[in-house]
């Protein structure tokens, strides 16, 4: 066996490596294969929709237990109730996936009121504001914004607006952090 002393401290090195990984994950721009998403979920609507889905399921089970599926009225009523439940499941999926996507220096803020995709360079965004419907700027330190617009003010003067029914300060902070990380991405390559 060798008499040589072991050099280095693996525990400290592992801690430094983990801290560096966490730091780079927070501030590195996203790639096309793994975009960064800032979710804008409205949990009030999510839980309400989930409650409606449970009520529709209970109603369909109730139709079966009362024997309504065997008569004409029950078999006709179960079809629109089930169709409404399927529509609510689709709405729940949309509510859970509502986000702004960042990747390779680009921002995808969803669709505007005309139905066109709002995709733009993050580096051309001058500032990010939260505005109300009368186009007045809201304070940046509010805990919750209701029925507001998330506005990306561009260098050209154009404003890309994303309507939100409820936006928390935490969600706004995630959008700002992701936008700042994407501004560092070099789009000239």
* Whole-number Cα distances in Å, 27 to 36, 103, 165, 172: 11, 12, 28, 16
pLDDT value at 11 more than 70: no
What's the helix, strand, coil split of the chain in %, to 5? 45, 25, 30
pLDDT value at 18 more than 70: yes
> What is residue 123's three-state secondary structure?
helix
Average pLDDT over residues 147-168: 91
pLDDT value at 7 more than 90: no
Which of the four pLDDT bands, split at 50, 70 and 90, describes residue 33? low
Q: Would you state the structure tokens that stand for residue 160, as one six-digit string?
A: 């890309």
Q: What is the pLDDT of residue 174?
A: 92
Task: Report pLDDT digits (tens) over 107-134.
Answer: 999 888 888 899 999 989 999 999 988 8
Q: What is the pLDDT of residue 88?
A: 97
């Amino acid at each position: 066996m060798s008499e040589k002393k072991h050099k280095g401290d693996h525990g400290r090195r592992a801690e430094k490596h983990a801290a560096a990984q966490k730091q780079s994950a927070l501030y590195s721009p996203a790639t096309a294969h793994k975009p960064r998403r800032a979710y804008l979920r409205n949990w009030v609507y999510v839980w309400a929709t989930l409650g409606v889905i449970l009520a529709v399921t209970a109603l369909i089970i109730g139709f079966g237990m009362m024997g309504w599926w065997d008569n004409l009225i029950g078999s006709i009523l179960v079809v629109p109730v089930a169709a409404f439940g399927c529509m609510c499941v689709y709405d729940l999926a949309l509510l859970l996936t509502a986000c702004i996507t960042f990747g390779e220096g680009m921002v995808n803020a969803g669709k505007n009121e005309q139905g066109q995709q709002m995709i733009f360079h993050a580096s051309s965004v001058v500032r990010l504001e939260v505005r109300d419907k009368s186009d007045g700027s809201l304070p940046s330190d509010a805990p919750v914004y209701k029925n507001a617009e998330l506005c990306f003010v561009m260098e050209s003067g154009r404003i890309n607006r994303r309507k939100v029914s409820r936006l928390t300060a935490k969600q706004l902070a995630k959008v700002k952090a992701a936008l700042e990380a994407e501004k560092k991405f070099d789009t000239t390559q």
